[in-house]
Amino acid sequence: MSKSFRKHRLVAFLFLFTLLSDQFSKLLVIKNLVLGESINILPFFNIVRVQNKGVTFGLLSGTLQPIVFIILSLIVVAFLIDYARKNKNYRPFIGMIIGGALGNVIDRIVHGSVVDFLDFHLGSYHWPAFNIADSAIVMGVFVLFFISCSEGKNE
């Protein structure tokens, strides 16, 4: 098995794992919770069903129509695919980001907003609810940023 094939397989796996786990988890939330309902899991963590009309962590909520977010997301995905072709070492993390972005695009198309359900809190302070797609996007961008900075120091 060639090295290139293994790298593509990892990218495909991370993309599909992110997209499918995101959509499956959202389906479970939709089927089992009504909008606004919350289940306390740990003293600092709840599962809650919310609809996010903004971007990651509710940013820009209510400022733009869902179609604008869909178009912007698809432009970013196209840019990331092009970037992945030129930067082979980053492909697995780009696969995570694309999987997350498309997971949220699917929500916007199907539901008109994104299903968020992971709710971390400390006392009465709640971090904005998010989902697996958001987590994959943030982790992928963080790792890409860290790798880019590390490579810059080595050159």
Q: Could you give the residue numbers annotated as active site?
A: 116, 134
Contacts of residue 101, Cβ cutoff 8 Å, sequence gap at least 6: 73, 76, 77, 80, 133, 137
In contact, 53 and 107? CB cutoff 8 Å: no
- DSSP character string of 18-78: HHHHHHHHHHHHHHH--TT-EEEEETTEEEEEEEE-SSGGGTTTTTS-HHHHHHHHHHHHH
In contact, 92 and 11? CB cutoff 8 Å: yes
